[in-house]
Amino acid sequence: MNQEPTKEQQREFWELCGLKRFASPDLSKIWHQWRYPDGEYHKKPPPIDLNNLFKYAVMPMPPVERYRLLQDWLNDMTNKGYPENPALALLWAIYKALGGKDEKD
């Protein structure tokens, strides 16, 4: 899959990777904040690029899972043709490996 994830899929993806989302309890002031695994707070989750995918999703995986994921990602890119955006191909491979929901679910 080489399509952009929906906002809901992005939120679920980053939460599966260990980021925590906080929303204001006071409905008169709407704000969201994300706590990254290193403890820092940011207004938005990280952009989807290879650097952030490796930092927050791939490297925290156990070595055997990481190896399988990267092998599957590279095989998909080789067999299906190199995608226009390899970060999206990796995102979907990680999303599937972490048990993310398909749009069909």
The DSSP secondary-structure symbol of 13 reads H
Say whether pLDDT at 104 is over 60.
no
pTM of this prediction? Answer: 0.81
Q: Give the start-to-end residue ranges of the domains of the chain.
A: 7-97
Q: Tell the burial category of 100 from Cβ atoms under 10 Å away from its Cβ (0-12, 13-18, 19+).
A: middle
Query: Of 105, 104, 85, 93, which is closest to residue 13 (Cα–Cα)?
Result: 93
CB atoms within 10 A of CB 103: 10
CB atoms within 10 A of CB 93: 24
Per-residue pLDDT band for 105 (boundaries 50, 70, 90) equals very low
Least confident of 21-25, 32-36, 47-51, 72-76: 21-25
AA identity, residue 12: E
What is the tens place of the pLDDT at every residue in 50-81?
Answer: 999 999 999 999 999 999 999 988 887 887 77
Question: Would you say 20 and 13 are in contact if contact means Cβ atoms under 8 Å apart?
Answer: no
- Angle CA 97–98–99, to nearest 5: 90
CA pair distance 13, 9, nearest whole angstrom: 6
Percent of the chain with pLDDT over 70: 85
CA pair distance 31, 105, nearest whole angstrom: 29
pLDDT of 64 reads 92
